[in-house]
Amino acid sequence: MAPRKDAVSKKTVAKIEKLAEGVLKAVAGGKNPSLDIPVRSLANVKWSDKRRLVELGSQKQKRYFFNVSMAKKFMQTFLVSEACKELIDSGKTTSIRDLYYVTKHTIGDTKQNTFEEQDESDPIIEDLEVTVDALREELHLFAARKGSMVGPITIVDTGDTIDLRRMGSGGWAVPSIVEENIITFKKHEAKYVLLIEKDAVWTRFNEDKFWKRNSCIIVQGGGQPPRGVRRLVQRLHSELKLPVYVLVDNDPWGFYIYSVMKQGSINLAYESMRMAVPDARFVGLSSFDKDKYQLPGNVSIKMDDGDNNRAKQMLAYPWFRHAKWQKEIQEMVRSGLKFELEALSRRGISFITEEYVPKKLKDKDWLE
Amino acid sequence: MAPRKDAVSKKTVAKIEKLAEGVLKAVAGGKNPSLDIPVRSLANVKWSDKRRLVELGSQKQKRYFFNVSMAKKFMQTFLVSEACKELIDSGKTTSIRDLYYVTKHTIGDTKQNTFEEQDESDPIIEDLEVTVDALREELHLFAARKGSMVGPITIVDTGDTIDLRRMGSGGWAVPSIVEENIITFKKHEAKYVLLIEKDAVWTRFNEDKFWKRNSCIIVQGGGQPPRGVRRLVQRLHSELKLPVYVLVDNDPWGFYIYSVMKQGSINLAYESMRMAVPDARFVGLSSFDKDKYQLPGNVSIKMDDGDNNRAKQMLAYPWFRHAKWQKEIQEMVRSGLKFELEALSRRGISFITEEYVPKKLKDKDWLE
């Protein structure tokens, strides 16, 4: 017996069915069936000043069935659509690697495979996402997962009520799919969300019970946060109206992690609306913190050519054009130095939880 | 006020103090202070047939204070010892990256730093571990963490009672330090532990509630399991007498993950006793499963030169010398093919949880 579908799943299935019906109608009318697929190339990505997001533009391309160069991709799009519909119908989720295997067949008596490698099926998934306007999580596909979370909030995860105030040193492991049909928020006393780049630093915040003393949710994504963490932070912000603060290393990679959480990324521009938090605030590390917090010179690390080029590129990004950000990045380029969150431990291992972050928040010493 | 120390911490501090007292005694007696440090090089690593573990031999080297080439390392050893003792005294833990920053100083008016890079402090930590015979976790140092766990067991993690039967889709995030002073086991109905290589496959097992239907604990470490996961599995095995089964890809990397969980690794031979489970069983994927479970040819992946060389090396390892393992690895080399756990999804996405693993366990079709 197929499980009863929730509202999210019903909506997604309807979108896939609509796609298929359009094609069937064209066939019945004697026309060449086609799909209108939004273009995902850089040329169709733009910065929206109004929404403060990296967004996909309005360009579309037609994918025809009766076209030698498009027929295979057309077939692949429906293979993937069908597999996703079956996943949703059976109430199961799976990985994009798994989907590749599930949809890989040798066609008839030929030696032709539907897909040769996963790098053929992944772009088809992205095509489907933008065409039917559904996140891959809504198509019941999950990505690699990393990250953990604790804080003064109770959640329900697939029927289990979980008190994130009582998760010990480990925390709750953030899954990849965190849509409303999987995760809901219950009672909470949180005043904000603190997204921490590094798991080791998160462990310091958890061990020092920072989240309890400061009534906040702390979450880490093991470097660049995976989709599950970003989407969950976005939901905590939009549904519970919690401000989001981002704590990263003082290097171009840290700034990039912040900018993806805040504006979305160029690669996944079509998802910015539901993955990004334009109001997110950067609480450090700033290039000016070395002086402000009296750190010795020997904790700095010299930037390499890659770092320098990356920092200079960032100066040109529209989302870093605010005078404060320009000053920040220029100082990094000028000094040629970067430094890590752990460098604050020269002032004591709990300096970061007891003085650095509390002072940043109290003085509103953040960048936006 | 310093927190009251638990038994584990008291023992570790006593070991560090004994080390320091030995040096002080030498100084008082007008002798050149020295440390006896077990040698961690490959030449001092051996396979123990009796304990079925990769172990450190008995070679030691003397590190003298009054010796131009050893004085700096001697000083570094005590800097690290002192920092660890302070961590234990204050009831805090930290990362090895953090410890590097904490112990990095510029000496007096010189331009000489105690440590230039972390690759200088890490080996000193390992020296200290083997010299005082304490895992780095007992020195209150943690490593990077990955991995999640669910199953029919209740644990206590730093005072919080956590029911791993009610952890939703996310699971409990396994911390890096899982010693008895942090994690204890309470009521459980588990019959065994299943260690799964891949987080995506673990998610399948969790979603299908495999652990509930089969009364087992499922844990994943995101590829090669980090120290926390290995130590926790070892504790579940030794304290609760639970058999351990390992589920990995059919490739040399998968076999390696299995062998590290079972025998320990050459690099960390001095920890095998407390990190490895010599009774662990390999439940697949086996090179013979392609035929046994009727998988189509197109899910195999051709091995590259690196894979082939790695597989041939493994044939020579004493811990793979059993006839069954020789046959297994020879088949991999002969076919030149590897395949992933996800390939089983060609038989249906829940084939692995509903048929493959249950049949392997029922038929006792494992390798040891």
For the domain that residue A163 is a member of, what is the CATH number? 3.40.1360.10
Residues B148, B154, B160, B166, Cα dihedral to 10°: 60
Q: What is chain B's pLDDT, residue by residue, as a tens digit (368 residues)?
A: 456 788 889 999 999 999 999 999 999 999 999 999 999 888 999 999 999 999 999 999 999 999 988 999 999 999 999 999 999 999 999 999 999 999 998 888 888 899 999 999 999 999 999 999 999 999 999 988 899 999 999 999 999 999 999 999 999 999 999 999 999 999 999 999 999 999 999 999 999 999 999 999 999 999 999 999 999 999 999 999 999 999 999 999 999 999 999 999 888 898 898 999 999 999 999 999 999 999 998 999 999 999 999 999 999 999 999 999 999 999 999 999 999 999 999 999 999 999 999 999 999 999 99
In this structure, the answer to whether residues A175 and A121 fall within a common structural domain is no
In this structure, the answer to whether residues A195 and A222 fall within a common structural domain is yes
In this structure, the answer to whether residues B301 and B161 fall within a common structural domain is yes
Residue with tokens 């521009």: A269
Chain B touched by A98 (CB under 8 Å): yes
* DSSP 8-state code for residue A271: G
Distance (Å) from the alpha carbon of A181 to chain B's nearest alpha carbon: 12
- Count of beta carbons in the 10 Å neighbourhood of residue A312: 14
pLDDT of residue B147: 95
Confidence of residue A360 (pLDDT cuts 50, 70, 90): very high
Higher pLDDT residue, B361 or A111?
A: B361
CB < 8 Å & 24+ apart, contacts of A361-365: A361/A245, A361/A283, A365/A283
Confidence of residue A2 (pLDDT cuts 50, 70, 90): low
* DSSP 8-state code for residue B147: -
Q: Is the pLDDT of residue A1 over 50?
A: no
Query: A with B: how many residue pairs have Cβ under 8 Å apart?
Result: 171
Tally of domains in chain A: 2
ipTM higher than the 0.90 cut: yes
* Three-state secondary-structure class, residue A35: strand
Q: Please say whether the beta carbons of B264 and B272 come within 8 A.
A: yes
Distance (Å) from the alpha carbon of B175 to chain A's nearest alpha carbon: 4
Backbone phi and psi for residue A107, each to the nearest 5 degrees, phi listed first: -80, 120
pLDDT of residue B266: 85
Question: Using CA atoms, how far apart are residues B324 and A288, in angstroms rounded to an integer?
Answer: 62
pLDDT of residue A276: 96
Query: Which of B104, B166, B204 has the CB atom closest to A298's CB atom?
Result: B104
Residues 6+ apart with CB under 8 A from A363: none
Chain A touched by B299 (CB under 8 Å): yes
Q: Is the pLDDT of residue A324 over 90?
A: yes
Q: What is the CATH number of the domain that holds B132?
A: 1.10.10.10
In this structure, the answer to whether residues A206 and A257 fall within a common structural domain is yes
In this structure, the answer to whether residues A74 and A222 fall within a common structural domain is no
Q: What is the mean pLDDT of residues A340-350?
A: 95
In this structure, the answer to whether residues A358 and A226 fall within a common structural domain is yes
In this structure, the answer to whether residues A154 and A117 fall within a common structural domain is no
CA A202 to chain centre: 18
Residue A110 lies in a domain: yes
In this structure, the answer to whether residues B94 and B191 fall within a common structural domain is no
pLDDT of residue B84: 96
Which residues of chain B have a CB within 8 Å of the CB of A105? Answer: 298
Q: Which of B127, B142, B157 is the last residue of a domain?
A: B142
Q: Please say whether the beta carbons of B62 and B36 come within 8 A.
A: yes
pLDDT in tens, B292-324: 999 998 999 999 999 999 999 999 999 999 999
Q: If contacts are CB pairs under 8 Å, which of residues 194-213 in chain A contact chain B?
A: 199-200, 203-204, 207-208
Q: Which two tokens stand for residue B44?
A: 């001092």
CB contact under 8 A, B162 and A167: yes
CA A123 to chain centre: 17
Q: Which of B142, B159, B183 is the last residue of a domain?
A: B142
Q: Which of B105, B126, B142 is the last residue of a domain?
A: B142
Domain carrying residue B28: 7-32+67-142
Residues 6+ apart with CB under 8 A from B238: B277
pLDDT of residue B3: 64
B148 → chain A, closest CA residue: A173
Residue A334 lies in a domain: yes
Distance (Å) from the alpha carbon of B99 to chain A's nearest alpha carbon: 8
Of all residues in chain A, what percent carry a pLDDT higher than 70?
Answer: 99
CB contact under 8 A, B157 and A174: no
Residue A62 lies in a domain: no
Helix (H) or strand (E) holding B219, with range, is strand B216-220
Residue A48 lies in a domain: no
Arithmetic mean of pLDDT over chain A: 94
Q: Is the pLDDT of residue A186 over 60?
A: yes
- Sign of torsion, CA B191 B192 B193 B198? negative
Determine if the peptide bond prior to A361 is cis (ω within 30°): no
Residue B229 lies in a domain: yes
Residue A1 lies in a domain: no
Which residues of chain A have a CB within 8 Å of the CB of B354? Answer: none
In this structure, the answer to whether residues A72 and A187 fall within a common structural domain is no
Chain B touched by A249 (CB under 8 Å): no
Distance (Å) from the alpha carbon of A27 to chain B's nearest alpha carbon: 31
CB contact under 8 A, A169 and B156: no
pLDDT in tens, B43-81: 999 999 999 999 999 999 999 999 988 999 999 999 999
pLDDT of residue B1: 45
In this structure, the answer to whether residues A116 and A230 fall within a common structural domain is no
Residue B323 lies in a domain: yes
In this structure, the answer to whether residues A271 and A354 fall within a common structural domain is yes
Residue B50 lies in a domain: no
Q: Please say whether the beta carbons of B168 and B209 come within 8 A.
A: no
pTM of full prediction above 0.80: yes
Q: If contacts are CB pairs under 8 Å, which of residues 329-358 in chain B contact chain A?
A: 340, 342-343, 345-346, 349-350
Tell me how many degrees the CA angle A266-A270-A272 measures, rounded to the nearest 5: 75
In this structure, the answer to whether residues A128 and A230 fall within a common structural domain is no
Q: Please say whether the beta carbons of B304 and B333 come within 8 A.
A: no
CB contact under 8 A, B167 and A162: yes
- Count of beta carbons in the 10 Å neighbourhood of residue B122: 17
